[in-house]
């Protein structure tokens, strides 16, 4: 028998802390990112999980032969941190010894050590396991990891409880054809389009809940803003006085996000040349006002009952020009375009107490207040010709007491992609799924 004590392993240093070890001999580890051959010595760039450090390999300091090194080789490096005024970092790293941990078997089909990853999107995605090693590519997902962390931190502060709801479900929340079906032990099941029903159920339990997890949409659109699987940031909250409360929460959430990134992802943002938007007050205009702004007051009656991608883009541009906000809420979407659980405006049942949040030209959030009264929900489902039996467990909450509530779902990849001003949401998705792409 052996004992596992939870010991922490021998310390390997990271790029940013090396400056604290001037004059010392320390160990670092990483992949050989690039070798720059000079006369009589070489600069060896070592890529770590964060950052790249430059070592000097010279027969003056080590008998280790340069020919033994190659790009993408993984190793442990013993180095001496020697103060050097002429160096940007304030020190030189003299490589004293190299322990080779593994060697690549072939040259990388994509160049990983130039300033930019110079391949088209298709190639970048085909070689994703390699291209993600590029500094700028991985920065995207470091930022995304910090975004997720920021949201959870915010939710915790505001009294939300995290839930994990099933992705194999008996009915879709959004309905329609955009749903993946699969055989499930002799029955037909579906992949969840959103945690909608479950998060509402959980409002009766914890009042405020959130989930950050995958959702699935079988949309046949192959556009720069659609994915067939994405990460949804969902929240749902009870005891709201009005649906505006949900927008207030999202505004605070965005504010918290930007402050968090400023503090925790500065290097990555700088590397990508990203400017964070300011989130003071966010303007909110009604769907009908938005249409009027886009098309003029008269054109009213002929509008499609939704905002088309082009309209979202133009609306954002208009708002930014006129009042400088990169965010805009559009509220009161037509009842016909919103799902059966959306609460109608008591002042005008053709409009719902719902909203989208648009950011830099794209819708990143859909939210709204839900119906909480049993009679009202059943009546609406009847009007839509729905079968009540299919939703028995969902309707339990309405039948047995629910507070007024609402929530939102935010697309993580879309937000990341707009924040980083990318041309395609796939760039903000580790391993995107679309109608053509299932690999890697």
352 annotated ligand binder: no
Question: Around Cβ 310, how many Cβ atoms within 10 Å?
Answer: 10
219 annotated ligand binder: yes
CB of 39 to a second copy, least distance (A): 28
Task: Please say which residue, 82 or 258, places its beta carbon nearer to a second copy.
Answer: 258
Question: What does 104-124 look like in DSSP terms, one character per residue?
Answer: -SS--SS--SSSS--S-HHHH
Quick check: 216 and 167 in contact, CB under 8 A? Answer: yes
- Among 401, 373, 378, 410, smallest CA distance to 391 is for 378
Mapped onto helix, strand or coil, the DSSP state of residue 326 is coil
- Among 231, 157, 214, 196, smallest CA distance to 367 is for 196
Task: Please say which residue, 329 or 333, places its beta carbon nearer to a second copy.
Answer: 329
Q: What is the sign of the dihedral through the CA atoms of 86, 90, 96 and 97?
A: negative
Residues 6+ apart with CB under 8 A from 311: 290, 291, 294
CB of 334 to a second copy, least distance (A): 18
Task: Please say which residue, 93 or 257, places its beta carbon nearer to a second copy.
Answer: 257
CB of 372 to a second copy, least distance (A): 5
353 annotated ligand binder: no
60 annotated ligand binder: no
372 annotated ligand binder: no
Task: Please say which residue, 126 or 424, places its beta carbon nearer to a second copy.
Answer: 126
CB of 59 to a second copy, least distance (A): 25
SS (H, E, C) 362-406: EEEEEEEEECCCHHHHHHHHHHCCCCHHHHHHHHHHHHCCCCCEE
Q: Which is it for strands 208-216 and 161-162: parallel, antiparallel or unpaired?
A: parallel
Q: What is the sign of the dihedral through the CA atoms of 300, 303, 306 and 307?
A: negative
86 annotated ligand binder: no
Q: What is the CA radius of gyration of the chain?
A: 27
Task: Please say which residue, 73 or 381, places its beta carbon nearer to a second copy.
Answer: 73
Order of strands across the sheet with 168-169?
A: 168-169, 187-191, 181-184
CB of 107 to a second copy, least distance (A): 8
363 annotated ligand binder: yes
Mapped onto helix, strand or coil, the DSSP state of residue 360 is coil
CB of 271 to a second copy, least distance (A): 15
Q: How far is CA 438 from the centre of its chain?
A: 19
Task: Please say which residue, 7 or 85, places its beta carbon nearer to a second copy.
Answer: 7
Task: Please say which residue, 41 or 206, places its beta carbon nearer to a second copy.
Answer: 206
418 annotated ligand binder: no
CB of 182 to a second copy, least distance (A): 4
93 annotated ligand binder: no
| Binding positions | 174, 217-219, 225-227, 363, 366, 370, 411-414
| Binding positions for ATP | 217-219, 225-227, 363, 411-414
| Binding positions for L-aspartate | 174, 217, 366, 370
């Amino acid at each position: 028998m052996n004992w596992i004590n939870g010991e922490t392993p021998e310390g390997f240093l990271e790029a940013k802390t090396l400056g604290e070890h001037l004059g010392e001999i320390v160990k670092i580890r990483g992949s050989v990112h690039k070798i720059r051959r000079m006369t009589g010595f070489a600069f060896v760039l070592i890529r770590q999980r964060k950052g790249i450090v430059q070592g000097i390999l010279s027969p003056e300091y080590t008998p280790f032969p340069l020919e033994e090194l190659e790009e993408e080789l993984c190793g442990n490096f013993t180095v001496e941190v020697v103060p050097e005024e002429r160096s940007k970092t304030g020190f030189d790293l003299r490589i004293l010894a190299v322990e080779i941990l593994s060697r690549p078997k072939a040259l990388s089909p994509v160049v990983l050590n130039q300033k930019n990853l110079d391949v088209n999107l298709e190639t970048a995605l085909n070689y994703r396991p390699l291209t993600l090693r590029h500094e700028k590519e991985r920065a995207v997902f470091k930022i995304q990891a910090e975004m997720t962390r920021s949201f959870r931190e915010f939710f915790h502060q505001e009294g939300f409880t995290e839930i994990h709801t099933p992705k194999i479900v008996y009915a879709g929340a959004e309905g329609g054809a955009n749903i993946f079906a699969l055989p499930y032990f002799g029955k037909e099941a579906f992949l969840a389009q959103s945690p909608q029903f479950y998060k509402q159920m959980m409002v009766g339990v914890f009042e405020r809940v959130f989930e950050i997890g995958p959702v699935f949409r079988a949309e046949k659109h192959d556009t720069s803003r659609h994915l067939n699987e994405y990460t949804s940031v969902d929240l749902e909250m009870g005891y709201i006085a009005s649906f505006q409360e949900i927008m207030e929460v999202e505004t605070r959430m965005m504010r918290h996000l930007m402050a968090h990134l400023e503090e925790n992802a500065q290097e990555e943002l700088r590397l990508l040349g990203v400017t964070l938007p300011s989130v003071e007050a966010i303007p909110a205009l009604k769907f009908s006002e938005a249409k009027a702004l886009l098309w003029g007051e008269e054109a009213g009656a002929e509008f499609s009952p939704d905002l088309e991608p082009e309209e979202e883009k133009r609306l954002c541009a208009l708002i930014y020009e006129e009042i400088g906000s990169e965010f805009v809420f559009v509220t009161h979407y037509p009842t016909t375009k919103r799902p059966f659980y959306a609460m109608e405006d008591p002042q005008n049942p053709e409009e719902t107490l719902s909203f989208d949040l648009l950011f830099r030209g794209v819708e990143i959030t859909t939210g709204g207040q839900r119906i909480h009264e049993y009679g009202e929900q059943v009546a609406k489902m009847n009007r839509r010709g729905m079968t009540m039996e299919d939703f028995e467990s969902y309707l339990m909450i309405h039948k047995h007491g629910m507070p007024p509530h609402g929530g939102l779902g935010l697309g993580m990849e879309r937000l990341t992609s707009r924040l980083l001003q990318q041309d395609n949401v796939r760039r903000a998705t580790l391993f995107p799924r679309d109608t053509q792409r299932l690999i890697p």
